[in-house]
Amino acid sequence: MVTGSRTHDDSRPTATELGVGARLSLYPMTDDFVAVILGALAGVDETGLQVVTDDVSTYIGASTTPDTVTEMGRYITAVVKGAAETTSTGHVVAILLLSRGCPGEVSCESDGVPLPPPDSGPMGLQPAGVVAAAHWSVYPLDSSDHMGAIDQAVLQAQRQGTFTRGEHYVTRLDGDLSEVITTIITGWLGAGPGHVTSHATISVGSPTDTGESV
């Protein structure tokens, strides 16, 4: 989805045109999964966002302002919480993909385009009252020092208190669902310039506690 507009004297795409958004897929562990998924999506206000659902995932588009990025975090948290609370087993898995600055949204010329600063994340989310675990990865696609950017995102998770440990290819996060979502989004926003994507598998209500190393 392409939004925003260019000034007449600047052919470069704006940050909004380059895209700030997410794709969310829900997997409720229940036979009545259709009602749970549709009910969770329908039960959350979409104000300020573009929300489009198909048979694979839900696209959540935002602008680059702190308010709309916060709204995206609030929306994701509320949908996952709603699904967990209406699933008979209480166990829901959510797959979250975040992307900002994707040159494929508009153009392959992304150099020099301003993008959201690290402090644009949803730092004001209210506690969800739902415990979540996540496996989280960050991919700074335009950074020559990609490991440095990833290390900074992990350090931020440690400061926020959601970091549990490093795993194969992922970082384990645990905490209130809103705190886990906040860590994922703020780490993604702060991980280097240009095009950055982030992937997370979020689990709520799992019958197996794997918080300790196996």
Q: How far is CA 23 from CA 11, 26, 58, 187, in A?
A: 28, 10, 5, 17
pLDDT of 195 = 85
204 versus 213: the higher-pLDDT residue is: 204
What is the residue-wise DSSP string for 123-163?
A: TTPPP-S-EEEEEEEEEETT-TTHHHHHHHHHHHHHHHT-E
HSE toward the beta carbon, residue 131, CA cutoff 13 A: 6
Give me 63's structure tokens: 């602008």
pLDDT of 193 = 73
C-alpha span between 21 and 72 (Å, rounded): 8
42 versus 194: the higher-pLDDT residue is: 42
Q: What is the mean pLDDT of residues 97-104?
A: 85
The residue with tokens 């919480």 is 81
Q: What is the mean pLDDT of residues 75-99?
A: 96
70: left (phi over 0), alpha (psi -120 to 50) or beta: alpha
Does the domain spanning 15-204 belong to CATH 3.30.70.930? Answer: yes
Does position 103 have pLDDT exceeding 70, yes or no? yes
Q: What are the boundaries of each domain within the chain?
A: 15-204
Q: What is the mean pLDDT of residues 184-200?
A: 88
Q: What is the mean pLDDT of residues 27-38?
A: 96
pLDDT over 70, % of the chain:
79
pLDDT of 63 = 75
108 versus 187: the higher-pLDDT residue is: 187
| Full-model pTM | 0.84
**What letter represents residue 21's amino acid?**
G
Mean residue pLDDT across the chain: 83
Q: How many residues does the chain have?
A: 214
C-alpha span between 194 and 199 (Å, rounded): 17
Sheet with 58-62: list strands edge to edge: 50-53, 58-62, 20-28, 92-100, 196-204, 131-140, 170-176, 163-167
pLDDT band of 157, cuts 50, 70, 90: very high
Q: How far is CA 159 from CA 19, 135, 154, 182, in A?
A: 28, 17, 9, 12
Does position 133 have pLDDT exceeding 50, yes or no? yes
pLDDT band of 211, cuts 50, 70, 90: low
Closest alpha carbon to 28 in 84, 76, 110: 84
Does position 114 have pLDDT exceeding 60, yes or no? no
